[in-house]
């Protein structure tokens, strides 16, 4: 399949090509946790690079529940002009822009000083790094209802700001993914046990969003192919969840995998069936495509045009690219011009998978910070340098967040 052919979604809207900028956590919000000038400049750069779709990094549906400091929050229309400008610059070259909406659940840094909730009171298990996360308490019925309403509210606000769609983050061990996984969901009420119960929050959110937004507004779900943890969310579970979503007006399913505890999305815990170095989740995506009534997108390690073509020829409709676009935002235009660009970060030889995952994310964020300032990228940045730089950035933004959230409570 020609990667530069358009994709018509079930809702009738058209994505101009098959390349998507997959979500990466930018942590580039302004002091009000709205889109900053740097964040808007970053998306303008990606728009100019020729992608057909951009999916934003995490936009949080609750200011008290952050995946990290410096994240964008959307709870009201207070900063609508900033969100409108973000959408406008991203759409300027004809691409679609979808907002990824999320709640971290138990995957919220303890340093942020907020109450941590999850489906069940299951603490993070990351060895010596477990203390970086506060043990969560089990959510009440009222809190589950509030979270559901917050996802819907964020979707409605995104549409009003000019975004073309939203993506509900139900992967990578965040809250909706925690409900789906039997490791983190040990409830015995209607939210736990059988998969239909564990999927109830996701299904309810999707139904409610579809009922509140216009038909041309795209609705996507990011779903784990698996937790990559024994006894966790399995590929068969993923197929069943997609079957539950089939009749609900979902326009695209993105397949990824893993969590903070098993970071398969960075390549550290790939399943034996997947490709060795690129398209980590392609085999899983093929399985999902066999049961999905909506287009399927696969994300995870793709950085070469031949691999992107292989993904599309396998029956997957869309190629999600993250790190490679952080390294080279012009990648789609270069591929269309016949160049064999294949951007790559330096290898990380650290023994600790957790530290290696953190360093990988730091190296990617280093590139995005440079692009957001109008600078060229630095693929050769060392993992130790990027890790220390990110730790300092996180420390500064954590202090800023705590001051900001303190002002909101007064």
| Confidence category of residue 259, pLDDT binned at 50, 70, 90 | confident
In the chain, % of residues over pLDDT 70: 94
133 near 116, Cβ under 8 Å? Answer: yes
Distances (CA, A) of 42 to 31, 35, 167, 327, 371: 17, 11, 19, 12, 6
The DSSP bridge partners found for residue 296 are: 253
CA distance 400 to 409: 15
30-39, 221-230, 360-369: least confident range: 221-230
> Residue 40 has what pLDDT?
98
Concatenate the DSSP letters of all residues of 181-227 into one string: -TTT----STTSSSHHHHTHHHHHHHHHHHHHS-TTSEEEEEEES--
> Residue 274 has what pLDDT?
36
How big is the CA angle at 175 (ends 356 and 115), to the nearest 5 degrees?
95
HSE, side-chain direction, 13 A CA sphere, residue 100: 27
> Where do we find the tokens 């397949």?
255
Q: Between these two residues, 83 and 275, which has the higher pLDDT value?
A: 83
> Residue 269 has what pLDDT?
35
How many other C-beta atoms can be found within 10 angstroms of the C-beta atom of residue 98?
27
Please name the helix (run of DSSP H) or strand (run of DSSP E) that holds residue 400, with its range, or none.
Answer: helix 383-408
Model's pTM, two decimal places?
0.94
CA distance 17 to 39: 23
> Residue 276 has what pLDDT?
40
Q: Is the pLDDT of residue 106 over 50?
A: yes
The DSSP bridge partners found for residue 166 are: 99, 219
Concatenate the DSSP letters of all residues of 86-97 into one string: HHHHHHTTS-EE
What residue spans define the domains of the chain?
7-344
Concatenate the DSSP letters of all residues of 313-358 into one string: HTT--EEEE-HHHHH-TTHHHHHHTT------PPP---S-HHHHHH
Question: CATH for 7-344, among 3.40.50.620, 3.30.750.24, 3.20.20.70, 1.10.1040.10?
Answer: 3.20.20.70
Q: Is the pLDDT of residue 267 over 60?
A: no
- Determine the 3-state secondary structure of 306 from DSSP: helix
| Confidence category of residue 263, pLDDT binned at 50, 70, 90 | low
Q: Is the pLDDT of residue 286 over 90?
A: no
Torsion of CA 100, 104, 110, 112, to 10 degrees: 40
In the chain, % of residues over pLDDT 90: 81
> Residue 282 has what pLDDT?
79
Torsion of CA 326, 327, 329, 332, to 10 degrees: -110
């Amino acid at each position: 399949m020609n990667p530069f052919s358009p994709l018509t979604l079930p809702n009738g809207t058209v994505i101009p090509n098959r390349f998507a900028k997959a979500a990466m956590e930018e942590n580039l919000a302004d002091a009000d946790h709205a889109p900053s000038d740097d964040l808007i400049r970053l998306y303008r750069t990606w728009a100019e690079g020729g992608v057909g779709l951009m999916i934003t990094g995490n936009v949080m549906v609750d200011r008290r529940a952050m995946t990290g400091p410096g994240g964008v929050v959307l709870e009201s229309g207070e900063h609508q002009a900033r969100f409108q400008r973000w959408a406008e610059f991203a759409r300027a070259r004809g691409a679609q822009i979808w907002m990824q909406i999320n709640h971290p659940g138990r995957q919220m840094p303890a340093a942020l000083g907020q109450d941590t909730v999850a489906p069940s009171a299951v603490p993070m298990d990351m060895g010596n790094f477990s203390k970086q996360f506060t043990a969560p308490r089990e959510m009440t019925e009222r809190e589950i209802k509030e979270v559901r309403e917050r996802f819907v509210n964020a979707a409605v606000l995104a549409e009003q700001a000019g975004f073309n769609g939203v993506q509900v983050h139900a992967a990578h061990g965040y809250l909706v993914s925690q409900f789906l996984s039997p490791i983190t969901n040990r409830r015995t009420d209607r939210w736990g046990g059988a998969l239909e119960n564990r999927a109830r929050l996701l299904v309810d959110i999707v139904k409610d969003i579809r009922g509140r937004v216009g038909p041309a507004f795209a609705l996507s779900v990011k779903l784990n192919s698996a937790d990559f943890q024994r006894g966790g969310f399995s590929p068969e579970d993923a197929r069943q969840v997609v079957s539950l979503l089939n009749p609900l007006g979902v326009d695209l399913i993105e397949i990824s995998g893993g969590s903070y505890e098993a970071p398969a999305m960075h390549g550290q815990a790939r399943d034996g069936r997947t490709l060795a170095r690129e398209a980590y989740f392609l085999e899983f995506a093929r399985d999902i495509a066999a049961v999905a009534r909506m287009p399927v997108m696969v994300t995870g390690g793709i950085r070469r045009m031949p691999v992107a073509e292989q993904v599309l020829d396998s029956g997957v409709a869309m190629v999600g690219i993250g790190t490679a676009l952080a390294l080279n935002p012009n990648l789609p235009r270069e591929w269309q011009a016949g160049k064999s660009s294949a951007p790559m970060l330096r290898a990380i030889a650290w023994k600790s998978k957790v530290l290696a995952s953190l360093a990988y994310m730091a190296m990617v964020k280093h590139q995005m910070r440079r692009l957001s300032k109008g600078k060229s990228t630095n693929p050769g940045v060392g993992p130790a340098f990027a890790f220390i730089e990110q730790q300092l950035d996180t420390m500064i933004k954590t202090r800023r967040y705590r001051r900001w959230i303190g002002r909101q409570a007064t």
